[in-house]
Structures are given as structure tokens and as C-alpha cells.
Amino acid sequence: MSAQTQLQPRHHGNVFIYIDNSNLWIQGQRTAEEKTFDVKINLYGSTPPPVDTVWKAIESHNVNVTTFKRSSWNQREKQVDAELIARSSTQAVKAYYQGVPAVFIIVSGDRDVRSAVMAITEQRYRVHLWSWNNGLAKIFREHDDEIAQGLFEVHLLDDYLEEVGFHASTFRIDRAVIDPHSIVVLDPLPRGDNVEAFLNHLRTPVYRYEIKPNRADASSPDLAIIPAHAVSMTSNELRDLFVRSKTDLEKRGLTVLSYLDYSQIYLEGSTVDKSLALSSRFHEFPSDPGEDDSDNSEADDDEDQTLDNGNNINHQGAFGGQRRNFETPGASNGDGIQRGPGNDNQHQAFGEDDNDGFIDVNRGLIRQRNRLRQKEERLLTRCYWRTYCERGLNCDYGHTKEEEERFRVYGNRKAKKTGQDGIRAILTMATGIAVGKRLSSGH
């Protein structure tokens, strides 16, 4: 490998950017709660929900978006990593034979992208790897003799949380440019199921906002439904969308106004500071408490690690994450499985056969049962965040019927962030380094 260490990087030329969106987004959420160049950007992620607002917005900035369906078995997205690795490695070889100088930027902390880093640096191209600190695989934190020295750098996104993150929870209506054909549903909460059914069948990507505070004669905040691509839609398209939506919603017993009419009737001349509260609309997909994050953690080899162990300060029940014990009356033989009277046959389901003197432990089934039991316990624990729960209907903890109705109508909400200084202080304490200091990768 000594020959590789002497290679000099190519200078100037193109910039190729490859982004693992799920790694960037999910780890970014955890972090927050804890010259002339031709630039080509490629974003890889799993297939979004039917209302793919985020993907469409990204594509409008000339970013090539590639998506794949998630595995129906384990919800993992290894195909995303494989495609990112294949495309970036192929581009490096292509650029080398064409004699084109280039720089590669990969936004991912997954250990799998190491093969791409090696393939690119072998062609004497420089690679910059960007990742959140909590999503950076251990292999990138250590010196690697197989990667050409001087061609690979690791950077932390934590230092730029305020620039890449989005924390605002409200904005002033009179300062916002909102299309007048946007839809406003008056007092929607009493018919929350009808609103949810309408939104689920709406093919046009939209934003949902809660107009605060309540009108005097309303039992719930009014709901603003704003087309995500209003800027690129024609007046006829916007008008047609409003008419169709109004007809549909009124058939469901709801009162609907255009935003123009609503603002003239209820907002103009009002002394009340009306604002729109953002829902957590960028939540790409519900998190899975059983999802394996071993690719990004230092506990890669600990296959029995409990991922949601109650110490997750981002989201927990009313008891601070402490779980109550729900034991079935009966004896335990020390294997961690509670048995009730007459349930000794349960042992057979887990592969134990007392007749042959051997014990065949089905660890996967045991872990699955433990996860189900923990999920049941969480459901019996009231969610600490109440109506501000960012997971909404996908929350593992318990919510009241009133809270669930709000989630169906207004979507998910997030509590306001702490101040900028507070966020930086938390990051500094959590990482043990001053914010703004670059991670030393040893390369």
C-alpha cells in the first residue's frame, strides 16, 4: 500500500455528490434532538409515501433522485447503499479514462460506502465523506491503511446543524407568500376522519398548516392545505384543484373557503396575531423500534443490543423512558420468559425439547417476542409529548383519542427548539468537542 500513499490528488474539474438521504435525514433528526465547477448531485433513498413532497422539491433544484422500495420483510434499504456505491465507483473509473479531474462528495456514514471510497481513491480522486457524528461508522473514525493517504477526509455535519436543519415551528401569515387558491377547512377536528380520508386520496403534494389561534365560534383551529408546487402550477390548475377539493370536502360535511376569501373575512383588520403552525411534514417514514441501526453504531457486533432502551431522550413516555414490568403470574426458570399456570407448553414454541436433552434456542423468535412485549408496554405508557409528538399516529407510546384526532387532521407537530446557543451547548457536551471543530479522521 506504500505506492498508494504517494499518489497525488487530481486538481480542479468536476464535483460529484452522492447523498444517502435516509442516513442524512434520520441521523440528522437524532443530532438535532440531541472557482468554477460543474456540480452533479445524486440523491439515493427509499420510495417515499404517496405524497412525495420532499422528493419533488429536491428534483426542482436539478438533483437526480433515485428511489427504491423498502424491503417488506425488514424495512432495510441496502439497495440504496449498493446503488450509491456502484454509481460513484463507475463515475470515478469513467472520469479517470476520460482524463477529467474530479472531486467526490459522499453524504453517508454507513460502513458499506468504504468500498466506494477505496474505488474512487484508487483512481487518484479526492473523496470527502460527510456524516452526522452519531451516524458515522467506527471504521471511518480510525486510520485505514487500505485507503490512499491525502485523498480521503471525514467531516461532521453537526457543525452545520443550523444551516442544514429546519426548526421553525410557526411563521407570520402576513409575511408569507401563500397562493390564494389554497384550501382552508373551517373547524375540521369534529370531522377528522373525513379530512384524513380526503388527504389520503389527494394526489397533489400539499403542506398542512394549523391556523392559530381558534376563531371565536370554532371548536378547533382551522386547517390550511397549501399545494406544494403552487409556483409551478398554472392558475387554471390551481383553480381546478380548489374546486375539486371544495366539492369533495363539502360532500363530507365540511366548510371550505379559498385562502383569499378566508384572509379577507377573518384576517384583514384583525388585531390578533394569526400564525400558521407547521406540521412535521418532512418525516419521511415512521421509525421502526425494531430497525437495526448496527451499520452506524459502535455496537455492530452486539446483536442482542436493545435499540429502544428507554434512554432515548428524543421520544419517550411520561415516565422518562422507564418501563413498568408486566409479568404473567407464574414462575420463571431464569431464562427471562415468564410462564403462567398451564403454559409450560410455550417452551416447545421456542425450540426447547426436554426429551432429547438438548436445547435449541431460537434467538430470533425470542427477540421478536421481547420487542412485541416492549411495544405493548410502551402503548400503556402515556407519551410525554402529547399533541406535540412528532411521530403522531405512528408513536409507540399511548395517546388519548383527542390527540389522535388532532394528528389525523393537522398532521404531526414538533415542540419548539431550544435557542441556538442551547443547541450548540448540547452538541458540545454530547460530542465532547467544540462545535465548529472538524473531526480528525487520521487521513
Q: Which residue has the higher pLDDT, 252 or 179?
A: 252
Taking the CA atoms of residue 396, residue 401, residue 407 and residue 408 in that order, the dihedral angle to the nearest 10 degrees is 120
Using CA atoms, how far apart are residues 352 and 335, in angstroms rounded to an integer?
Answer: 12
Taking the CA atoms of residue 170, residue 173, residue 177 and residue 183 in that order, the dihedral angle to the nearest 10 degrees is 90
The residue among 247, 278, 309 that closes a domain is 278
For residue 100, give the amino acid letter: V
- DSSP class per residue in 222-286: EEEEEETTGGGS-HHHHHHHHHHHHHHHHHTT-EEEEHHHHIIIIITT--S--EEEEP-TT--S-
Q: What are the b/e assignments for 209-248, b being 16+ CB within 10 Å?
A: bbbeeebeebebbbbbbbbbbbeebeeeebeebbeebbeb
Residue 144: its pLDDT value, please?
Answer: 87
- Supply the CATH number for residue 208's domain: 3.30.70
Q: By residue range, what is the domain housing residue 114?
A: 2-166+426-431
pLDDT tens per residue across span 213-263: 778 888 888 888 888 777 778 888 889 999 999 999 999 999 999 988 888
Task: Answer whether residue 359 is part of any domain.
Answer: no
| Same domain, yes or no: 142 and 200 | no
Q: Which residue has the higher pLDDT, 181 or 362?
A: 181
| Same domain, yes or no: 32 and 160 | yes
CB 26 within 8 A of CB 287: yes
| Same domain, yes or no: 160 and 179 | no
pLDDT tens per residue across span 74-118: 445 567 778 888 888 998 999 888 888 899 999 998 898 999 999
| Same domain, yes or no: 214 and 176 | yes
Q: Of 70-84, 301-315, 367-381, which range is least confident?
A: 301-315
| Same domain, yes or no: 215 and 272 | yes
| Same domain, yes or no: 327 and 392 | yes
Most confident of the following: 188-202, 287-301, 320-334: 188-202
β-pair type (358-359, 255-258)? unpaired
Q: Which residue has the higher pLDDT, 182 or 443?
A: 182
Q: Which residue has the higher pLDDT, 340 or 201?
A: 201
3-state secondary structure 307-352: CCCCCCCCCCECCCCCCCCCCCCCCCCCCCCCCCCCCCCHHHHCCE
Q: Which of 127, 263, 272, 250 is nearest to 191 (CA)?
A: 250
β-pair type (152-156, 206-212)? unpaired
- Supply the CATH number for residue 33's domain: 3.40.50.1010
pLDDT tens per residue across span 23-48: 777 777 667 666 444 556 666 666 55
Task: Answer whether residue 86 is part of any domain.
Answer: yes
Count of domains for the chain: 3
- DSSP class per residue in 116-161: HHHHHHTTT-EEEEEE-GGG--GGGSS--TTS-TTSEEEEEGGGGH
| Same domain, yes or no: 139 and 186 | no
**pLDDT for 415 beyond 90:** no
Using CA atoms, how far apart are residues 442 and 143, in angstroms rounded to an integer?
Answer: 5
| Same domain, yes or no: 245 and 215 | yes
| Same domain, yes or no: 140 and 8 | yes
| Same domain, yes or no: 209 and 308 | no
Q: Supply the DSSP symbol for 398.
A: B
For residue 76, give the amino acid letter: R
Q: What angle do CA 215, 219, 224 make, to 5 degrees?
A: 60
pLDDT tens per residue across span 114-151: 999 999 999 999 999 999 888 899 999 988 888 887 89
| Same domain, yes or no: 16 and 94 | yes
pTM, rounded to two decimals: 0.40
**336: alpha, beta or left? (left if phi > 0; alpha if psi -120 to 50):** left
Residues 314-321 have a mean pLDDT of: 44
